[in-house]
């Protein structure tokens, strides 16, 4: 089947009161393993190419890999740009066949975030492609981007942003962070519910690695429809490789790495889909 847009799969999530996983991919083996779990669970999936993968040259081949995966998949697959850094990068990804792009202007002044987000939405929607925006810069470190300090989204800014930007999904900062949490995450669920009640488009929770199941499922009940996971995917792949490094057999190593990613993806899918 053809690749799906973010909007299309989030409509499914809205109808079923679940969240769709957005897994970051950095090579061929990781999406292959994710797809085995997604098809086994009959769950749409968002294959995400982030700034780390792009910096490592991922735009040369990963879009073609994701496109081929989508064509042969039994579940809807979205090709998504993560934390897009500019209008120009969004256009490059639109030309490369992405079916969803994120523009992350959350660490810029509010008016600049609005202006650039509107430009990306205008270009992407003209091509029938979905856009995710962000308010409340997610703290932590991801793909070489770091942001410290509290990232609690300002509700007045959410209201003003939604009046100005017609995005298909909105990532909000509610105490979530990229990378491994120091201690238990402290998510502001009241703030999440308030964003939902402002009539926001489907809401996105970044920093999904390490958030415990009860918090995930409470966030989904309160309106989170997309949850991003990168760190745990990468750790699963690397730890899988390490577990078989003594075999000196590349197929044994990749097999162990893919098996670890498949198990992680299955666990997250079942958690986000309230199957656990």
The residue count for binding Zn ion (CB under 5 A) is 2
Stretch that binds ligand G3H, among 31-39, 129-137, 185-193, 223-231 (CB under 6 A): 223-231
Binding segment for ligand G3H (CB under 6 A), chosen from 11-19, 26-34, 105-113, 205-213, is 205-213
Q: For residue 226, state whether it binds Zn ion (rule: CB under 5 A).
A: no
Is residue 206 part of the contact set for Zn ion (CB under 5 A)? yes
Distance, CA of 101 to CA of 172 (rounded, Å): 16
Which option in Zn ion, ligand G3H, none does residue 229 bind, with CB closer than 5 to 8 A by kind?
ligand G3H
Fill in the per-residue mask, 58 to 97: x = in contact with Zn ion (CB under 5 A), - = not in contact. ----------------------------------------
User: Who contacts 254 (Cβ-Cβ below 8 Å, separation ≥6)?
Assistant: 29, 241
Reference 225, options 6, 8, 13; nearest CA is 13
Closest-by-Cβ residue to Zn ion is: 206
Number of residues counted as binding ligand G3H (CB under 6 A): 16
Rounded CA gap, 71 and 52, in Å? Answer: 25
Q: How far apart are CA 121 and CA 169, in angstroms?
A: 11
In whole angstroms, give the CA distance from residue 116 to residue 159.
Answer: 17
Rounded to 10 degrees, the C-alpha dihedral 34/38/43/49 comes to 20
**Smallest separation, CB 53 to Zn ion (Å):** 13
Number of H helices, E strands in the chain: 11, 11
Q: Which does 18 bind (CB under 5 to 8 A by kind): Zn ion, ligand G3H, none?
A: none
Whether 104 is catalytic is no
Supply 45's token pair. 């999936």
Interaction between residue 208 and ligand G3H (CB under 6 A): yes
- DSSP class per residue in 25-50: --SSHHHHHHHHHHHHTT--EEEEE-
Binding site for ligand G3H (CB under 6 A): 24, 50, 82-83, 142, 178-179, 206-209, 228-232
Binding site for Zn ion (CB under 5 A): 206, 228
Q: Which residues are catalytic?
A: 82
């Amino acid at each position: 089947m053809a690749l799906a847009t973010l909007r299309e799969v989030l409509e499914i999530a809205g109808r079923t009161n679940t969240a769709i996983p957005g897994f970051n991919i950095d090579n061929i083996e990781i999406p292959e393993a994710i797809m085995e779990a997604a098809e086994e669970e009959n769950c749409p999936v968002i294959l995400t190419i982030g700034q780390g993968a792009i910096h490592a040259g991922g735009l040369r081949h990963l879009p073609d890999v994701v496109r081929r995966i989508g064509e042969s998949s039994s579940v809807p697959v979205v090709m998504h740009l993560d934390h897009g850094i500019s209008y120009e990068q969004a256009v490059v990804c639109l030309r490369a066949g992405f079916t969803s792009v994120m523009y992350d202007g959350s660490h810029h002044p509010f008016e600049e975030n609005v202006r650039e987000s509107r430009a990306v939405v205008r270009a992407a929607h003209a091509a029938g492609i979905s856009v995710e925006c962000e308010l409340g810069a997610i703290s932590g470190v991801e793909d070489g981007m770091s942001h410290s300090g509290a990232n609690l989204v300002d509700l007045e800014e959410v209201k003003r942003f939604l009046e100005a930007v017609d995005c298909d999904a909105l990532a909000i900062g509610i105490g979530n962070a990229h990378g491994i949490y120091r201690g238990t995450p402290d998510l502001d669920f009241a703030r999440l519910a308030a964003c939902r009640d402002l009539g926001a488009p489907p809401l996105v929770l970044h920093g999904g690695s390490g958030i415990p199941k009860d918090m995930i499922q409470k966030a989904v009940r309160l309106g989170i429809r997309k949850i991003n996971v990168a760190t745990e995917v990468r750790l699963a792949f690397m730890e899988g490789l390490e577990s078989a490094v003594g075999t000196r057999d590349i197929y044994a190593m990749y097999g162990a790495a893919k098996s670890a990613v498949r198990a992680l993806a299955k666990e997250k899918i079942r958690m986000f889909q309230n199957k656990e």
